[in-house]
Amino acid sequence: MNEKIEVANYQLIEWNPEDTLAIMENYYFPPYITLAHSFHAPAGWGIENRILNQYALQYVVKGVAEYPVGEHRYLTQEGDLLFHRPGEVHSIRTIDGSPYVCISIVFHMGLTAFPFHELLEHKHMLGNFRGHAIERMLTELVHLYQQPGLPAQLQCQGLLMRIMGSMAEFQHRIENKEPANLAKMVLVKNHILNHYERDLRHQELERVCGLTRNTIIQGFKKIFGMSPMQYLIWVRIQKAKELAIQTDLSVGEIAQSVGYSDVHTFGKMFKKKTGVSLTQYCSSLTTQYLNTKARIADNMNKDGRGLKG
């Protein structure tokens, strides 16, 4: 979070938890987050047989990758969240021709014993959270981790604990087969995801799953942490960001592509939900990329051997 940690965080993930405490400023209690970033893997990138002494969450934002942990083999895809524990041998292998973008969170609990086995048992693959509130929290945590100061640090720690609690609750619901309309809610979610550019109304969602409006709203929010219409807006924002970064479309054309006939309505919605305009969002990504590139180059010059990703 501060300059001292920012320079060292890529090395810190390989340290023993107790050895990191002396240099991690602004931390007064666990969890101690040694890395939180979004990583765009270059072609051919991979990690083989790595062992960390800390906990790690790996969330697939885009693409696919093979993720062996110990004797288990997982083929992760967009939305999958994987968790591994200290001492577990793991690898990450990208697939030729497929992009791989992930969020990595590495952390430990210091000298505090924490019952992860009670929350998540021995699971590695925790589920698919594409469009779920957990995905939003992971993204927000990465953003806040780049901000200086104690307030941002405290929010990061709080978000991580909320994520762990939400994952445990999700596992409990799945194991107890709750709610009864889980399959129908997934059907509604997929329908929104596949038709976000249309003028979707609750009547259409009722026809898709055969449930009433109130049942859909309550069930969807219980499972995914937001209402169907909130999810629709979230999907449109994510698609707008993708189009802004990956294409040369104008703001008006992007608005049309994600379901808004009026560019001003789209602009107000985007700024209300993200705090910035679409143009400002793209500019901030460019600035962040250049700053990160310069910081990594500076770190490599300081230690003379580069950083480990």
Long-range CB contacts for residues 288-291, cutoff 8 Å, separation at least 24? 288/146
Provide the mean pLDDT of the chain: 84
Helices (H), 177-227: 182-194, 202-209, 213-224
Distances from the Cα of 121 to the Cαs of 85, 124, 167, 178, 257, in angstroms?
11, 9, 12, 19, 43
Beta bridge partners of 102: 39, 60
By percentage, how much of the chain surpasses pLDDT 70?
86
Residue 172 near residue 204, CB atoms below 8 Å = no
Amino acid 306: pLDDT:
43
pLDDT digits (tens, 9 = 90+) for 198-234: 999 999 999 999 999 999 998 888 777 788 999 899 8
Residue 305 has φ and ψ, to the nearest 5°, of -140, 0
Kindly report, residue by residue over 6-25, the tens digit of the pLDDT.
434 557 888 889 888 888 88
Which amino acid, 158?
Answer: G
Q: Residue count of the chain, please give it.
A: 309
* Cα 285 to Cα 288: distance, rounded to the nearest angstrom: 5
